[in-house]
Amino acid sequence: MQQAITIFHFLFQGVLLFQVILFGYLYASSQKKEMVYFAIFLFLLLVNFLLNSTELYGITDHANFMYSKVYNFINTPIVIIANIFYIMFLKTFYTGFTKSKLFFQILNVLRITLICALIGFFILFFFDIISNLLFNILHLLGIIAGIWLAILIYKEKLPFGKFMVPGFVANLTGTLCTVILLLFQNIHTDHVLVRDYPYTFIQLGLLIEILFFNLAIVSKWTRLEREEAIFDLKSELAIAQLRSQLSKELHDDIGAELSGINLYSHMATTQSSAGKMEEATKSISVIRDSSTKVINRLKDIVWAINPVENELQNLMDKIEEFARYVVNAVGIQVELKIPENLPILNFSSQIKHHLFLISKEVINNAVKYSKATHVVIQAGHKNGIFSLMIKDNGIGFNVNNVPQGNGLSNIKRRAQEINAVLDIKSSPQAGTAVRVSCAMK
């Protein structure tokens, strides 16, 4: 039995060393903080178990070393600091994968408790108060907190629970057995496990936990890669849809304008040759207006497909620029409202394009039909939903009896193409408010 336990000790230390090297390499290649936190946690465990099994390596006289001031000074702090990094690993591992406030609150309380315990230890050591009581209390608190976390992960069905919960249970079981053996050791119980191998069970529990945590990490990376692949696929699909939409608009809108320019240029040439200068001037004026529309439309298309300008602020600046340009001649006041606490949002080119064109349509309607004096453009974000609202203080209209030619059908079509919810509120003499809301990742 003694030989088997000795072999297990060497195996355990070898596994810890391999894991430290592995996760150190993974951090160096991926720069993921959870990797370095787990590597530091395992390294400190490796040092701790080396300190508690010096007789296996013939480093020093184990009995004298265990009761030396050096051992008492470094053993407990190493365990405390290791557990701090363990908590930091769990916190980083689950960040972005759960919105459970209680889970992170428990981890924060544990981290603060451990920091206070570390400070308390050094204060006691300064006054030469050396006791295993703090060490055992921390282990018992860790068991209680671990049980709580395991129950929380299982109850709230947090991601990777099928790996994390068994890992917690294995570690907690091993830790509890070791704490019991250490308590028997303090009352001088004469048993081979109590006397020589009290840390065997916690080592076995840790080995099982490390195995399950490795599976959890691999599962997380697989999930991230799958989500990234899905995101790339959706992005490619969105780009294809945007290209199709832009192609259609180039053909329908700009193509029609260019055909008109071509027609009027021939008319202007014919009219000029015939000496009809007044009519030729009118034709040239139409050509000028149409070419201006084409230039502006092309600018909008170039802006829509530019990924550098896919942020919320760029979208709102573009909408405000268009609004002020359109209403400048009619004396309508434009007000832009973006809350200060609004998160930084990035749009796909397709969503940005349709939101801008919806805004243009609504603003044009306000200028042409509403007789408004004030237009408010407001952005908001709540629970992952972005909303853009444009409202005016004009004469309004009956939503159930929409006048023809005001572009509302285009607004509805564009909202549907980006899976957005369109809400139009208006009534005679009460102004109009158009809100479009879409989910943001």
CA 167 centroid distance within chain: 26
Give the tokens for residue 5.
């336990």
DSSP H or E run through 214: helix 200-249
Q: Report strand pairing: 333-337 vs 374-382.
A: parallel
Average pLDDT over residues 111-139: 81
The pLDDT, as a whole number, for residue 2 is: 67
The pLDDT, as a whole number, for residue 21 is: 93
Strands (E), 300-370: 333-337
pLDDT of 438 above 70: yes
- Collapse the DSSP code of 383 into the 3-class scheme (helix H, G, I; strand E, B; otherwise coil) and give the result: coil
The pLDDT, as a whole number, for residue 235 is: 67
The pLDDT, as a whole number, for residue 256 is: 73
DSSP track, 219-250? HHHHHHHHHHHHHHHHHHHHHHHHHHHHHHHI
Does residue 390 contact residue 382 with C-beta atoms inside 8 Å? Answer: no
Give the tokens for residue 300.
């909008």
* pLDDT tens-digit map of 6-48: 788 788 888 889 999 999 998 888 888 889 999 999 999 888 8
Average pLDDT over residues 136-152: 81
Q: Report the distance separating Cα 375 and Cα 372, nearest Å.
A: 7
Sign of the alpha-carbon dihedral angle for 426, 427, 432, 433 = negative
Q: Which residue has the higher pLDDT, 289 or 420?
A: 420
Sign of the alpha-carbon dihedral angle for 423, 417, 315, 362 = negative
Cβ atoms within 10 Å of 119's Cβ, excluding its own = 11
Does residue 177 contact residue 201 with C-beta atoms inside 8 Å? Answer: yes
Dihedrals φ, ψ of 437, to 5°? -125, 135
104-108, 200-204, 238-242, 295-299: range with highest mean pLDDT: 104-108
* pLDDT tens-digit map of 406-420: 578 888 888 988 889
With a CB cutoff of 8 Å and minimum separation 6, the contacts of 202 are: 171, 174, 175, 177, 178
Q: What percentage of the chain has pLDDT greater than the value 70?
A: 86
Average pLDDT over residues 117-144: 79
Is the pTM higher than 0.85? Answer: no
Give the tokens for residue 379.
């952005």
The whole-chain average pLDDT of the chain stands at 82
Cβ atoms within 10 Å of 57's Cβ, excluding its own = 12
Banded model confidence at residue 74, pLDDT cuts 50, 70, 90 = confident
Banded model confidence at residue 190, pLDDT cuts 50, 70, 90 = confident
> Looking at residue 59, what DSSP letter applies?
S
* pLDDT tens-digit map of 198-253: 778 888 888 999 999 999 999 988 888 887 777 777 667 766 766 776 676 666 66
6-20, 27-41, 180-194, 317-331: range with highest mean pLDDT: 27-41
The pLDDT, as a whole number, for residue 139 is: 72
With a CB cutoff of 8 Å and minimum separation 6, the contacts of 110 are: 83, 87, 145
The pLDDT, as a whole number, for residue 306 is: 67
The pLDDT, as a whole number, for residue 308 is: 59
Q: What percentage of the chain has pLDDT greater than the value 90?
A: 16
Q: Which of 186, 62, 195, 74 is nearest to 132 (CA)?
A: 186
Dihedrals φ, ψ of 221, to 5°? -65, -40
The pLDDT, as a whole number, for residue 8 is: 80
Buried b / exposed e over 357-391, threshold 16 CB at 10 Å, is bbbbbbbbbbbebbebeebbbbbebeeeebbbbbb
Strands (E), 94-211: none
Dihedrals φ, ψ of 436, to 5°? -120, 130
Average pLDDT over residues 352-375: 88
The pLDDT, as a whole number, for residue 211 is: 92
Banded model confidence at residue 60, pLDDT cuts 50, 70, 90 = low
Q: Report the distance separating Cα 305 and Cα 434, nearest Å.
A: 25
Banded model confidence at residue 283, pLDDT cuts 50, 70, 90 = confident
Q: Which residue has the tokens 């009118």?
A: 282
Q: Report the distance separating Cα 317 and Cα 299, nearest Å.
A: 14
Sign of the alpha-carbon dihedral angle for 184, 186, 187, 193 = positive
The pLDDT, as a whole number, for residue 346 is: 72
pLDDT of 404 above 60: no
Give the tokens for residue 198.
């009290």
CA 181 centroid distance within chain: 44
The helix-helix angle for 277-304 and 255-273 (nearest 10°) equals 160
Q: Report the distance separating Cα 285 and Cα 266, nearest Å.
A: 13
The pLDDT, as a whole number, for residue 61 is: 62
Average pLDDT over residues 81-86: 92
Average pLDDT over residues 95-118: 88
β-strand partners of 76 = none
pLDDT of 437 above 60: yes
The pLDDT, as a whole number, for residue 156 is: 84
Q: Report the distance separating Cα 44 and Cα 33, nearest Å.
A: 17
The pLDDT, as a whole number, for residue 305 is: 65
Could you tell me the CA-to-CA distances from 166 to 106, 155, 359, 428 in Å, in that order?
A: 19, 14, 53, 65
pLDDT of 85 above 90: yes
Average pLDDT over residues 379-397: 88
pLDDT of 271 above 90: no
The pLDDT, as a whole number, for residue 353 is: 82
The pLDDT, as a whole number, for residue 385 is: 87
Q: Report the distance separating Cα 142 and Cα 122, nearest Å.
A: 20
